[in-house]
Amino acid sequence: MGKIRVAECPNCGEILAFYASYKTKLCTRCGKRFDVLKSKIYGVFDNALKASEFVKKLKYSRKNARKYS
């Protein structure tokens, strides 16, 4: 199994987890394709479980930051 990259869609800001070998990615939220290397990359993980936990924590912290701003 390959490494998992966590990055942000530059169009809508959705946080996505996908294989690190991908050069482009189709956003599941806005439906636009983006160049992975031109997006904000949060990290590369050894397995999908660690990556999904990171995505959940990041989305939760963003939600609470907006709530109290």
pLDDT value of position 68:
67
Q: Is the pLDDT of residue 69 over 70?
A: no
pLDDT value of position 21:
96
Distance of alpha carbon 15 from its chain centroid, rounded? 3
- Give 4-45 pLDDT, tens digit per residue: 999 999 999 999 999 999 999 999 999 999 999 999 999 999
pLDDT value of position 44:
97
pLDDT value of position 66:
72
How many domains, the chain? 1
Question: Domain span at residue 30?
Answer: 4-67
